[in-house]
Amino acid sequence: MEVKLHPDLKEPLNKLCNDPKTTVVILSGSDRKVLDENFGEYNLWLAAEHGMFLRRTKGDWMTTMPENLHMDWVDSVKHVFEYFTERTPRSHFELRRTSLVWNYKHADVEFGRLQAKDLLQHLWTGPISNASVDVVQGGRSVEVRAVGVTKGAAIDRILGEIVHSNDVKAPIDYVLSVGHFLPKDEDIYTFFEPELPVGGATTSRAKISKPRNQTASKISAQKSSFGPFVQKAPQAFSSSEKTTTSNGNGHWWSMMRDRLTVHEGSSVLDLKGENYFSCAVGRKRSSARYLLGSPADVVSLLKELADSLSQS
Task: Give the H/E segment covering residue 124.
Answer: helix 109-125
Looking at the whole model, is its pTM more than 0.85? no
177/222 Cα distance (integer angstroms): 15
CA gap 74, 133 in Å, rounded: 10
Determine the Cα–Cα distance for residues 98 and 145; give it in Å rounded to an integer: 6
Dihedral of the alpha carbons of 104, 107, 109, 115, in degrees to the nearest 10 = -60
Instruction: Say how far apart CA 163 and CA 134 lie, in whole Å.
Output: 30
pLDDT of residue 2: 66
Phi, psi for residue 225 in degrees, rounded to 5: -100, 15
Superfamily designation of domain 74-146: Trehalose-6-phosphate phosphatase related protein; domain 2 (3.30.70.1020)
pLDDT tens digit sequence for 84-93: 999 999 999 9
SS3 content of the chain, % helix, strand, coil (to 5): 40, 20, 40
Q: How many CB atoms lie within 10 A of CB 106?
A: 12
CA-based nearest residue to 50, from 137, 158, 139: 158
Between CA 49 and CA 32 the distance in angstroms is 7
Name the residue ranges covered by the structural domains of the chain: 7-66+151-311, 74-146
Neighbours of 26 (CB within 10 A): 18
pLDDT recorded at residue 236: 30
Low-confidence ranges of the chain (pLDDT < 70): 1-2, 68, 166-169, 195-268, 312
Q: What is the pLDDT of residue 185?
A: 87
Pairing of strands 45-48, 206-207: unpaired
Beta strand 25-27 pairing with 206-207: unpaired
Tell me, what's the pLDDT at 266?
Answer: 55
For the chain, the residue count is 312
pLDDT at 63: 85
Strand partners, 137: 142
pLDDT for the residue 167: 65
